[in-house]
Structure 1
Amino acid sequence: MQTPREPELTFDQVKQAINLVDLVLTLGYEHNRQQSGPALDQGKFHTFNYRGKAKLDQVIIYKAPSGDYLYFNRADERDKGSVIDFLKNRLENPRIAGIQASRGKSIWGSVLDNARRFLNLPEPQRKTSPQLQQLIIPVQRGDQYVPDFLRQTMPLTDTRHLNARGLSNETLSNGCFEGRILNQVHEGVSKTGQPYKFVNTAFPQVYNDKIVGLEIKAQGFQGQAADSLNSSALWLSNSGPKTNTLLVTETAIDALSHYQLKQPTNTMYASTSGPLTDNQVVEIRRLITNQNLKTVKPAFDHTVAGHVFDTKLITGLAHVLTPMHIERSLPGQLTVTINSDQESYFRKLHEQTKNYNQQVTEGYFQLAGRHAPPTHTLQSELILAGKEADNRYQFHIPKRVEALAFFNRALLQSYPMSVKMDLEKSRASDWNNQLKESLKEKANAQVPDALAAEEANRRRSLRR
């Protein structure tokens, strides 16, 4: 006896049969009431976090004027549309349980299989939301989704935290940073029942020209606003028609400090708000293309981690004909893999690393003595290179500031990049510390001048 065939299912039938709100709730998304409109009974955009965590996955659902439920994802411009798009995007980019590809079927066949699986669920396993659906009213032309954390911000007026970091009001009011620095108001009630209110400094983080996160700074505190999607985003200064250079720092405060110290022209700033991620490298590549930038300057902290970020950005912006990436990052060593059929590039870089190793070895024997045996300590300080396969080369760099700084400069000199790149490093551990040291030096230099002027005045008064 033949097994009855499943009835045919079309995309139009799926859209009519499956309510997107019910689907996401059944899959494990949770409705975030606090982020769903200015008030639950009048919100037009409703936020759903997978298992209650935005970092796992987050979708914003709204009702179109036609009555259809649609969605978008602030972290991915391409992730938007109908229930069909929702299923397709999570099949192509697996990140939640409950949606899985069908063996031997196309992406569209898998979409229909997942839709059919949902429709065949027993009633107790399917979540329905008639009351919530009644609250989601259709959007109108001009309606825009505003993240909850942006409702708590205002233009920069309280500059005390930034002034304490050595930043002048002249720097903060420069047009390069207009609208790119905000104040964020945080209100609450203490454990003793006392209300409190803090005014923090906030830096909006942008992905694909949209604000998706907020870096928050205050005395003794730094962090991200709740539900910020900062791993793909950058803080950006303003640009102008003559902007041709991008300078990348770890924090916005470092970018502001660099500007106050150097005041470069035709330059815009980007900060990663912490460690540089692969997604941020992709966003920097997009920025280079969209802004028609000619030069990129990695200006991360003058620390081991900062130099590793330099390496990551350099390899991420390598020429398409010589792709490279960080293969491994161990506690004491970084491995960079380069693919190229131009062995001359490898020979040039290899020759420079051999010269570096010779200098390190000479320094070792000067301290240890000419007859001292080469120990593991010496070997761990050398940059090692080798040909792993045809057109595939590897370099193993000690995680030391000097070794990483040398390798990054040599890499830029030896291999072509997709854009001109110049390393820029602070003398101190970061640009803000350099700014504060510079201000301290100026203040100390003014003391002898003031004493000399006071002594001259005293002598003039004695002559009278």
Structure 2
Amino acid sequence: MTKFDELKERFPNLIPVQELRSNVSIVELAVQYGYELQRHKGQSRPVLEHSAYNDTIIIKNPKDPAQQVYQRAGDFADSGTIIDFIRNRLSTVFVMFNRPGDNEFKNITSVLYDYLRVDPNMVAKNRAVTAALADTGTKQQFAKELFDLRPLAPDNYLTKRNIAPETIARPEFANKVVAQVAYLNPATGHTDDYLTAKEHPERNYLKFTNVAFPYYNGLSPEVTGLELRNEKLKLHAPGSDRYSSVFVSNAPTKAQHFVVMESAIDALSHQQLRAIRGDNAFDSVYFSIGGQLTNQQVNTVTRYIGSFPKAENYSINLSFDNDTKGHRYDLQFVQQLVAAKFPMSPTVGNSHRISYVLPEDQAYRPIRDELLSKAEYFNQNVRAQIGRTDGDALGQKELQSQQIFIGFNAGQTTINIPESCAALLMVTRSLLELTGLDERIKISKSVGKDYNEDLTREIQQTGKYRYSITDETGQTLYDGNSANTLSRQMNHLKHQAESEGSTKSYTVNERQPFGFTKPQVELSIEAGKVIKATQKPEFHQQVLNERKEQKSVTTALPEKIALNPEDKPQVGKVPQPGDDNSLKPKRR
């Protein structure tokens, strides 16, 4: 007798959903439909992969189907119960059950009913996979008291990432960046918590100091987790809530910008770059998601934004990394924010694709049609760039991998987006534009992979020169190591602006550690007239010193001997005895 027969005896009319969930494990169903267990990737939270669909899922509570949930690796929007697992795969793994004309839930229950009818021997074989897994155990709860947290020392890991002490001391980050001392027990080779270490001073612990960023869930002022960083460490402290908590900086009186980033180090780097370029305003709140993004974290960020006092024209800046993952987070964040105006449901895409089921109601049709039109225009540009691919297998493959696919199945429209920065950015910006949220929500990216890389490059490039000249926009016009040379260049810029009747501002900056600059000469010209001209005494003295050195070098050069006109040989004249020795014929 199959499990289906047993349940029908108990529930002759309709099997309740909770019974279906309790009797069908996500692990068993996944194995039945082609997923393979990756034992080396986890036991308490097993990992299963379907190679045909490039789909990797992680299972929580694998031995308890009633409490079992899943999450697709790298995509926290694709998670939930077995119902969600099937729903998000009706167009791929379970497409044979996606019957036109039937409602979605009926198609989902068809998958479950089919598995319940599977031969008991096959069910037992699938179930053996679950039986072999380790017990999940009890998840450790986060307790701040278990960690030795101290003020951050001036010499810390962040300085090696080019973060200046001045940046850490800014009002945004005061008390938001601390040190965490870890206690390694030499006898066991494992770290002990702070309370245990205090109780056993005789153990002669080896101490290591990490930089710690506290995380919060927005529901209480309590710390709910710690992100720990060091040269060889990048993790969250045991028990940390990674799914709904985020790092959040201190808020100004009225926030102008809300900046959402992947790491707290990026937040520090972003603010330091602003300061280097002359923007020292305390007007922003920074968030870090800790290298991942869940729907719960989106809710936490929006909850914080709603609670803070804001300027009337405030903006939300999504500043995730400038790579495929960062653009995927942009889309995931925006998809959740626009849900009230255009609800899209995530589904499983093909290999290296992000897929959504678009809403079919008439009210959403204008946005849907315009989105599909923009996708087709994007594809036309891709085809124009790649060119004709007739008979070119590699060209065809490249073309297919770059285009956005639109699918129609069982009355549903699906958009399949390649995991490329250009395609993901196009869809994200289109959603913001079509829902009218583009005035409030901005997509801003670093030049390199992330803002810490930008900061490092800025410091490395400018470290070659002691001085620079910038204009009123902050653009660097000249670099150099000679104060005298830049002083002369400033005079040239002054005369040029005066002759043209221009309105200009120029500054000679002396570069400081960590990329900061110190103004040495400031010049403001309005309509060709100098209205401000200041120079630091130390810069003036440096100019005088350089001029003195140049003069002494010139004086020390050997004196040149002038050649009298009468000493010059005449054209065609044969040298005669008594002429200058240099003109004598050479001896043979």
* Shorter-chain TM-score above 0.5: yes
Q: Which residue in the other structure is 1:220 paired with?
A: 232
- Give 5+ residue unaligned stretches, structure 2: 1-42, 46-65, 70-140, 190-202, 468-478, 485-544, 556-588
Q: Which amino acid aligns with 2:265?
A: I
Q: Which residue in the other structure is 1:279 paired with?
A: 296
Over the matched positions of the two proteins, sequence identity in percent amounts to 24
Does residue 200 of the first structure (1) align with residue 210 of the second (2)? yes
Q: Which of 372, 379, 402 is residue 381 of structure 1 equivalent to? A: 402
Q: Which residue in the other structure is 2:553 paired with?
A: 462
Q: Which residue in the other structure is 1:179 paired with?
A: 175
SS at match of 1:198: strand
Residue 198 of structure 1 deviates from its aligned partner by 1.4
Number of residue pairs the alignment of both structures matches: 326
Q: Which residue in the other structure is 1:105 paired with?
A: none
Q: Deviations over 1:4-61 (max 9, x none)?
A: xxxxxxxxxxxxxxxxxxxxxxxxxxxxxxxxxxxxxxxxxxxxxxxxx999xxxxxx
Q: Which residue in the other structure is 1:160 paired with?
A: 156
Partner Cα separation in structure 1 for residue 548 and residue 416 of structure 2: 64
Q: Which residue in the other structure is 1:251 paired with?
A: 263
Residue 167 of structure 1 deviates from its aligned partner by 1.1
Scaled by the length of structure 1, the TM-score of the pair is 0.62
SS at match of 1:301: coil
Partner Cα separation in structure 1 for residue 402 and residue 392 of structure 2: 16
Q: Which amino acid aligns with 1:167?
A: I
Does residue 356 of the first structure (1) align with residue 378 of the second (2)? yes
Q: Which residue in the other structure is 1:394 paired with?
A: 414
- RMSD of aligned Cα (Å): 3.4
Partner Cα separation in structure 2 for residue 271 and residue 261 of structure 1: 17
Residue 406 of structure 1 deviates from its aligned partner by 2.2
Q: Which of 431, 437, 446 is residue 426 of structure 1 equivalent to? A: 446
Partner Cα separation in structure 1 for residue 303 and residue 143 of structure 2: 24
Partner Cα separation in structure 1 for residue 167 and residue 68 of structure 2: 43
Q: Which of 266, 272, 286 is residue 283 of structure 2 equivalent to? A: 266
Q: 1:272 to 1:330 in 2, by over 3 A?
A: farther
The structure with more radius of gyration: 2
Partner Cα separation in structure 1 for residue 216 and residue 44 of structure 2: 17
Alignment of 1:55-204 (within 5 A): 94=67, 147-148=143-144, 151-190=147-186, 195-204=205-214
Q: Which residue in the other structure is 2:365 paired with?
A: 343
Residue 243 of structure 1 deviates from its aligned partner by 1.1
Partner Cα separation in structure 2 for residue 350 and residue 239 of structure 1: 40
Residue 458 of structure 1 deviates from its aligned partner by 4.4
Partner Cα separation in structure 1 for residue 317 and residue 455 of structure 2: 19
Q: Which residue in the other structure is 2:247 paired with?
A: 235
Q: 1:446 to 1:352 in 2, by over 3 A?
A: farther
Verify the 8 A CA contact 1:316 1:325 in the aligned structure 2. no
Greater alpha carbon shift after TM alignment, 321-330 vs 225-234: 321-330
Partner Cα separation in structure 2 for residue 458 and residue 451 of structure 1: 12
Verify the 8 A CA contact 1:337 1:394 in the aligned structure 2. yes
Q: Which residue in the other structure is 2:558 paired with?
A: none
Q: Which amino acid aligns with 2:151?
A: P
Q: Which amino acid aligns with 2:164?
A: S
Residue 158 of structure 1 deviates from its aligned partner by 4.1
Q: Deviations over 1:223-264 (max 9, x none)?
A: 111211222100000112211432110100001111111356
Partner Cα separation in structure 2 for residue 224 and residue 189 of structure 1: 20
Q: Which amino acid aligns with 1:221?
A: L
Partner Cα separation in structure 1 for residue 350 and residue 283 of structure 2: 38
SS at match of 2:341: coil
Q: 1:265 to 1:350 in 2, by over 3 A?
A: farther
Residue 455 of structure 1 deviates from its aligned partner by 7.8
Q: Deviations over 1:45-95 (max 9, x none)?
A: xxxxxxxx999xxxxxxxxxxxxxxxxxxxxxxxxxxxxxxxxxxxxx947
